[in-house]
């Protein structure tokens, strides 16, 4: 059975369990996940039977790539008729229940879909598809491992070139150039509304500690208010923490990792904070086993930070602290599960999570570490392969 057939069947099982007749998939990443093609269109997955990918552009390429049947979509106005012709049961006089990705579907587009299928009752299918994608297959894990290999090589290349006086963006562009030539897609996708990411966050000293709109413990100054995150034109100096929070995207799948470097020596209190971040990571690893609640991982990490006397610096500072320890990764950087309060998911084999205990010191910098892991039947496998410890240059 093909990778895509297994994904479709798992989605269909969820539809049946929820009493839904079909799922109308609209978002690029979800389309790619279920068909193998990211062409513009609408995928209709019935609770039983063969799905159909209605494509506006490019039909030719979709026909070459898609693992499910493709039908040309002449115009959006014809979509309703094409759906009812392809799936007669959905065009009957009785009520039908359809799901869609409310978390990413624009309101205007949703209202147009409602007009095309006026007899349908709609439901939020966001959680269904995000939970479906939460469990990774061997193929997906292979892509993430390759991304981890490339970012490890890029890190070593950057460390070999990094010296005082280089700007943050000079170092970051070197990382991006290195991985782009080796297969990085050139982007890291984010599902959250109004969230964006470049290839990661590389920042030093007080610039790394500048907060921003991005929902993470370290924002970075960025090049301008038009892109207020990650690397800036600030020169990197000796004796300050250099946070290297970078990723790589191979065949759509991302790796996420962080390392802390310093030219010379860190001040004693920052070096201790870094050691605490590693200690929290090691203790968290001891809890990575099937059944452990995701929220417990976060609340326990907060307690460890408090015991170390660093609670006010943990995962940001002041009103800009974020309330999580880690997050799922895959085709997007912000997948389920989230290691945060309220997320009651128990860890399951196949979940891939990035864990990132960090400490922010305003006007001074950010220290921390981040690894990505896959949960296994008896524990975990660390997918990140880069060397650990405070990287002294």
pLDDT at residue 93, rounded to an integer: 61
The residue with greater pLDDT, 197 or 248, is 248
The residue with greater pLDDT, 198 or 96, is 96
Going by pLDDT thresholds of 50, 70 and 90, the confidence category of residue 89 is: confident
Judged against a pLDDT cut of 80, whether residue 334 lies above it is answered with yes
Structure tokens at 315: 């995962």
Q: Give mean pLDDT, residues 252-276.
A: 98
Q: Are the folds of 3-133 and 135-392 the same?
A: no
pLDDT at residue 181, rounded to an integer: 97
Give residue-wise pLDDT tens across range 364-386.
Answer: 999 999 999 999 999 999 999 99
pLDDT at residue 74, rounded to an integer: 87
Domain spans in the chain, listed from the N-terminal domain onward: 3-133, 135-392
- Contact between 125 and 102 under an 8 Å Cβ cutoff? The reply is yes
pLDDT at residue 95, rounded to an integer: 85
Q: What's the mean pLDDT when you consider all of the chain?
A: 96
Judged against a pLDDT cut of 70, whether residue 137 lies above it is answered with yes
Q: Give mean pLDDT, residues 142-148.
A: 98
Q: Give mean pLDDT, residues 26-41.
A: 98
Judged against a pLDDT cut of 90, whether residue 235 lies above it is answered with yes
Residues with Cβ < 8 Å from 350, sequence gap 6 or more?
134, 135, 136, 137, 374, 375
Going by pLDDT thresholds of 50, 70 and 90, the confidence category of residue 28 is: very high
Domain 3-133 part of CATH 3.40.350.10: yes
pLDDT at residue 1, rounded to an integer: 59
**Nearest by Cα to 256 from 316, 321, 189:** 189
* Angle, alpha carbons 251-257-260 (nearest 5°): 150
Judged against a pLDDT cut of 80, whether residue 80 lies above it is answered with yes
The residue with greater pLDDT, 74 or 351, is 351
Judged against a pLDDT cut of 90, whether residue 215 lies above it is answered with no
Judged against a pLDDT cut of 90, whether residue 90 lies above it is answered with no
**pTM, rounded to two decimals:** 0.96
Strand partners, 354: 327, 372
Sheet of 52-57: strands edge to edge?
70-72, 52-57, 40-46, 22-25, 96-100, 120-124
Query: Which CATH number is 135-392 given?
Result: 3.90.230.10
Judged against a pLDDT cut of 70, whether residue 50 lies above it is answered with yes
Q: Give mean pLDDT, residues 120-148.
A: 98
Structure tokens at 200: 């990661």
């Amino acid at each position: 059975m093909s990778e895509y057939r297994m994904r479709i069947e798992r989605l269909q099982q969820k539809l049946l369990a929820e009493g839904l007749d079909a799922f109308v998939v609209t978002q690029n990443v979800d389309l790619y996940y279920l068909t193998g093609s990211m062409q513009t269109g609408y995928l209709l997955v019935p609770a039983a039977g063969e799905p159909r990918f209605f494509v506006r552009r490019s039909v030719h390429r979709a026909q070459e790539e898609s693992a499910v049947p493709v039908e040309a979509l002449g115009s959006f106005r014809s979509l309703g008729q094409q759906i009812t012709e392809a799936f007669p049961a959905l065009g009957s006089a009785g009520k039908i229940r359809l799901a869609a990705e409310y978390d990413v579907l624009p309101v205007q587009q949703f209202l147009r879909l409602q007009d095309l299928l006026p007899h349908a009752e709609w439901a939020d299918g966001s959680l269904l598809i995000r939970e479906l994608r939460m469990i990774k297959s061997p193929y997906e894990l292979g892509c993430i491992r390759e991304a981890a290999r490339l970012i490890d090589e890029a890190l070593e290349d950057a460390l070999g070139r990094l010296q005082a006086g280089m700007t943050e963006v000079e170092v970051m562009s070197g990382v991006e150039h290195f991985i782009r030539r080796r297969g990085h897609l050139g982007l890291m996708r984010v599902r959250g509304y109004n969230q964006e990411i470049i290839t990661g966050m590389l920042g030093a000293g007080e610039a790394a500690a500048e907060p921003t709109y991005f929902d993470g413990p370290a924002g970075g100054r960025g090049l301008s208010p038009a892109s207020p995150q990650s690397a800036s034109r600030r020169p990197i100096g000796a004796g300050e923490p250099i946070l290297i929070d970078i990723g790589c995207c191979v065949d759509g799948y991302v790796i996420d990792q962080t390392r802390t470097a310093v030219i010379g020596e860190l001040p004693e209190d920052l070096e201790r904070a870094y050691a605490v971040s590693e200690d929290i990571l090691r203790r968290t690893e001891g809890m990575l086993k099937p059944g452990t609640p995701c929220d417990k991982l976060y609340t326990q990490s907060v307690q460890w930070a408090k015991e170390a006397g660093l609670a006010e610096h943990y995962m940001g500072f002041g009103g800009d602290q974020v309330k999580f320890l880690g997050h799922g990764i895959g085709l997007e950087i912000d997948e389920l599960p989230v290691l945060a309060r309220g997320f009651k998911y128990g860890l399951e084999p196949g979940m891939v999570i990035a864990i990132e205990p960090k400490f922010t010191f305003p006007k001074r910098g950010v220290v921390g570490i981040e690894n990505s892991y896959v949960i296994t039947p008896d524990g975990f496998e660390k997918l990140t392969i880069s060397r650990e410890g405070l990287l002294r240059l």
